[in-house]
């Protein structure tokens, strides 16, 4: 690594915030309301628009016949000098829009006028260590609270009427490299979060806390050998110590759960993806390195791992397996099944039985996967191309350089896909790119990057990097694709109006025909769109909202790819759209 993570942040203006507030009687959505979010199009109560996070709306007032008339209602600025990546998904409840901003900020806007009601700025220390920009992906709402995670590894609950702090809990040690950017997940009376820091030798973990008090209920480490807790007592180690790790390496094994999780009320499991093992240099850690680069099915009540499926055993390319695991129901060979799908950073789209984690199918959704020739459906393991693993370094020099595709930024990175219950298709925001990657010697040091690798990202196609792809989960075939010059880095929304929405770094929010992929509408927002769009019904009309503000990992780590798009202006605007009144 030529660049230190801590230098990315630079200096930050810090605003003060109230530290205490009177206890307010619960008013607002309950755990049951949030579990039912996908069935109530008049609000958006959760990240992903429902516990399954399908990002599908049953609304159809806005549809393929009238989307060309879609116009802005207002744009609300996040203001100040803090711009960078705006990767958030807004929430809508009771005439308000709650949206997080870069640098751990949370805003409340009037959903009809865009008037700002309040703003909360986390008091961040200078030494925070987010690997990949100062982003935040969204908040959770429950009762009188709106809750979000901050870059210094805290979870903060604010009074949704006033923005005053109700509770504020430390979830990790930022000085050891822990941070947090994911939207919290509400399950009943619990708020469940993952952690970030996989580039610093942290240990990945899922934490469930009491939504009223913030007190820890259970914790589940994602690296085997580490002990979980339940109600303050030991609750069994994850896996079996030293089964897939040697020595003490499990104490710095990575596996960060940095994208948060989904929830299936039917199985009462939360599904969390886990990031890369530490360090990146795979020659320093023999074995499969469970449960890194995996999907975990975790009992929502006890924090016990019910099943795991590892997409990249013994990862050597930074193929974090954190991508969202989206439950859906479908018939496979005439048999109705409870399934879940994940478009992995490693370039394969996996369909699993969500009751037991058994692999159903795995198909490529990108142009190229140099590291594996497909996935063995019997063993569930990749058919590795051994020559494509970066070589072992000597004591003082780097190992053999290999060209690997996808790049470590992934066939798909953090940006969430959508699933249409009408078309039965997943809409995957993907990228086609590769990298030169090599290994270097490294030793663990608290609070320092723990990679032992270097890289240069490279394009692999003349005409595009980004590709929005419609994947049929039953056949593994790409039904249509839309190619974009710059890397796609925003989330996707689909609707019963046969529409698919996503944003581009070039600044557009775009709408496509969900069946054909035809581009129907676009609007220039003034900065790159890397947020996730939503839709809801209000006063009898259908609204669409998205954050605009270029940033994220691409401009920081994209090498020659990022240079191509360095002219994109920064920003920080919430855009809201609807059809004109008849
Ligand atoms: Ca709803
Ligand atoms: Ca990583």
Two structure tokens written together for 536: 């809801």
Which ligand gives the minimal distance to the CA of 257?
2
**Burial of residue 81 (number of CB atoms within 10 Å: 0-12, 13-18, 19+):** exposed
Two structure tokens written together for 69: 């008339």
Ligand 2 geometric centre to CA of 255 (Å): 8
Q: What is the pLDDT of residue 516?
A: 98
Distance CA 386, CA 383 (A): 9
Q: What is the pLDDT of residue 2?
A: 40
Distance CA 295, CA 119 (A): 35
Which ligand gives the minimal distance to the CA of 293?
2
Ligand 1 geometric centre to CA of 164 (Å): 25
Q: What is the pLDDT of residue 216?
A: 98
Residue in 474, 475, 467 with CA at minimum distance from that of residue 492:
467
3-state secondary structure 226-252: CEEEECCEEEEECCCCCCCCCCCHHHH
Which ligand gives the minimal distance to the CA of 36?
1
Ligand 1 geometric centre to CA of 58 (Å): 10
Q: What is the pTM of this model?
A: 0.95
Q: What is the pLDDT of residue 223?
A: 98
Q: What is the pLDDT of residue 26?
A: 58
pLDDT digits (tens, 9 = 90+) for 18-32: 344 444 445 999 999
Max Cα-Cα span within the chain? 72
Q: Which of 159, 315, 318, 320 is catalytic?
A: 318
Which residues, 6 or more positions from 577, have their beta carbon under 8 angstroms from its beta carbon?
A: 70, 71, 72, 73, 509, 523, 543, 544, 545
Ligand 1 geometric centre to CA of 137 (Å): 18
Q: What is the pLDDT of residue 564?
A: 74
Which ligand gives the minimal distance to the CA of 35?
1
Distance CA 208, CA 197 (A): 19
Which ligand gives the minimal distance to the CA of 38?
1
Strands (E), 291-390: 294-299, 305-310, 326-332, 335-343, 348-353, 359-364, 372-375, 382-384
Q: How many residues does the chain have?
A: 582
Q: Which residues of the chain have pLDDT under 50?
A: 1-25
Ligand 2 geometric centre to CA of 439 (Å): 15
Distance CA 498, CA 512 (A): 8
Ligand 1 geometric centre to CA of 61 (Å): 16
Distance CA 532, CA 548 (A): 9
Q: What is the pLDDT of residue 19?
A: 40
Ligand 2 geometric centre to CA of 304 (Å): 24
Ligand 2 geometric centre to CA of 322 (Å): 9
Distance CA 103, CA 135 (A): 7
Ligand 1 geometric centre to CA of 34 (Å): 8
Residue 318 catalytic? yes
């Amino acid at each position: 690594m030529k660049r230190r993570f801590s230098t990315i942040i630079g200096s930050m203006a810090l605003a003060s915030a109230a530290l205490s507030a009177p206890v307010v009687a619960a008013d607002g959505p309950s755990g049951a309301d949030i579990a039912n979010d996908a069935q109530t199009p008049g609000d958006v109560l959760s990240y992903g628009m429902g516990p399954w996070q399908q990002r599908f709306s049953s609304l159809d007032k806005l549809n393929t016949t009238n989307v060309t008339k879609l116009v802005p209602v207002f744009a609300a600025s996040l203001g100040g000098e803090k711009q960078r990546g705006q990767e958030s998904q807004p929430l809508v409840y009771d005439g308000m829009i709650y949206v997080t901003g870069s640098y751990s900020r949370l805003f409340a806007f009037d959903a009809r006028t865009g008037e700002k009601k309040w703003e909360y700025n986390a008091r961040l220390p200078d030494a925070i260590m987010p690997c990949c920009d100062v982003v935040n992906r969204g908040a959770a709402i429950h009762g009188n609270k709106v809750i979000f995670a901050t870059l210094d590894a805290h979870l903060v609950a604010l009074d949704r009427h006033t923005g005053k702090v109700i509770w504020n809990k430390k979830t990790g040690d930022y000085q050891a490299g822990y941070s947090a950017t994911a939207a919290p997940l509400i399950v009943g009376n619990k708020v469940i979060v993952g952690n970030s820091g996989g580039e610093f030798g942290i240990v990945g973990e899922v934490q469930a806390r009491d939504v009223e008090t913030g007190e820890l209920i259970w914790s589940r480490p994602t690296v085997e050998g580490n002990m979980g807790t339940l109600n303050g007592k030991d609750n069994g180690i994850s896996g079996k110590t030293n089964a897939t790790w040697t020595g003490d390496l499990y104490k710095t094994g990575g596996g960060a759960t940095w994208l948060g999780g989904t929830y299936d009320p039917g199985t009462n499991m939360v599904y969390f993806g886990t990031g890369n093992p530490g360090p990146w240099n795979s020659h320093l850690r023999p074995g499969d390195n469970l449960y890194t680069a995996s999907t975990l099915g975790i009992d929502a009540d006890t924090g016990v791992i019910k099943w795991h499926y590892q997409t990249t055993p013994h990862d050597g390319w930074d193929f974090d397996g954190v991508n969202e695991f989206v439950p859906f129901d479908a018939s496979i060979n005439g048999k109705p099944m409870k399934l879940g799908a994940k478009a992995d950073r490693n370039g394969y789209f996996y369909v699993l039985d969500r009751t037991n984690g058994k692999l159903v199918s795995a198909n490529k959704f990108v142009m190229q996967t140099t590291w594996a020739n497909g996935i063995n459906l019997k063993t569930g393991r990749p058919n590795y191309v051994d020559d494509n693993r970066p070589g072992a370094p000597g004591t003082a020099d780097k190992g053999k350089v290999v060209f690997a595709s996808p790049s470590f930024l992934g066939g798909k990175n953090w940006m969430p896909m959508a699933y249409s219950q009408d078309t039965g298709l997943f809409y995957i925001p993907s990228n086609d790119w590769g990298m030169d990657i090599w290994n270097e010697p490294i030793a663990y040091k608290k609070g320092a990057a723990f990679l032992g690798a270097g890289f240069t990202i490279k394009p692999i196609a003349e005409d595009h990097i980004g590709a929005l792809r419609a994947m049929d989960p039953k056949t593994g075939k790409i039904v249509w694709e839309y190619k974009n010059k710059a890397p796609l880095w925003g989330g996707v929304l689909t609707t019963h109006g046969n529409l698919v929405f996503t944003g581009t770094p070039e600044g557009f929010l775009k709408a496509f025909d969900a069946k054909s992929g035809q581009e129907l509408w676009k609007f220039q927002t003034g900065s790159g769109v890397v947020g996730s769009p939503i839709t809801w019904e209000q006063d009898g009309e259908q609204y669409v909202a998205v954050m605009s503000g270029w940033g994220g990992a691409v401009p920081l780590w994209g090498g020659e790819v990022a240079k191509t798009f360095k002219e994109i202006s920064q920003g920080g605007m919430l855009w809201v759209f609807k059809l004109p009144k008849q």
